[in-house]
Amino acid sequence: MGRVAVEQLLYLMDEVFEGADEEDLLGNLRAVTQHEWSEVPPGCMRSIRQIIGHVGACKYMYDNHAFGNGSMTWEDPAGDLGVSMEDLQSRTLALEPPMKEITEWLGSGHHRLRGHVAELDDAELVVARRPPEGESRETRWIIANMIRHDDYHAGEINHLRALMQGNDGWAWESG
């Protein structure tokens, strides 16, 4: 079987995670300061760190459940960060891992998931696999869901950052 569809999905995974501009997930993080990383803007509920903790945890969970033994839980450690994946999604932590280390953990999760997708051929895209939340889905749905997930949260991060930097208008609008 061919790999045309798998290669297209890999391209989309890479573009939405670390493409060539500031609209991808890591591109949005490049403009985030340490203060903005953990700040929750007025009227909002989550920090950028919480969102990245969530995105990273989902990468590891989906990878483990769809391509591994399915034993991973939200309470499992987030790599060597000293906190659980669930903790990374909470507002405050007793031990706050550095932004750089959390971002590296996120990247490792992306590359781990991407590596398993890269091993597939197109016929395997319709194979049923189990995502963390339960009912089996086609592999292509799981991959598409993870692509949408990165894209959605990249926009959310962009918006939070813009609110904190006071530049939430369109580029062509003046002050």
Q: How confident is the model at residue 20 (pLDDT cuts 50, 70, 90)?
A: confident
- pTM given for the model: 0.94
Longest pairwise C-alpha distance within the chain: 55
Q: Please report which confidence band the pLDDT of residue 129 belongs to, taking 50, 70 and 90 as the band edges.
A: very high
Average pLDDT of the chain to the nearest whole number:
94
The whole-angstrom separation of Cα 36 and Cα 63 is 29
- pLDDT for 31 equals 87
Query: In one letter, which amino acid is 144?
Result: A
- Are the CB atoms for 58 and 149 separated by under 8 Å? yes
Q: How far is CA 69 from CA 72, 122, 132, 133, in A?
A: 8, 22, 11, 15
CA distance 23 to 150: 11
Domain formed by 4-165, architecture: Up-down Bundle (1.20)
For the chain, the DSSP string reads ---HHHHHHHHHHHHHHH-SSTTSHHHHHHT--HHHHH---TT----HHHHHHHHHHHHHHHHHHHHS-S---TTSB-TTSSSBHHHHTSS--SS---HHHHHHHHHHHHHHHHHHHHT--GGGGGSEE--TTSS-EEHHHHHHHHHHHHHHHHHHHHHHHHHHHT--S-TTS--
For tokens 């995974």, the residue is 13
Q: Which amino acid is at 163?
A: L
Q: pLDDT tens across 28-85, in order? A: 999 899 999 999 999 999 999 999 999 999 999 999 999 999 999 999 999 999 999 9
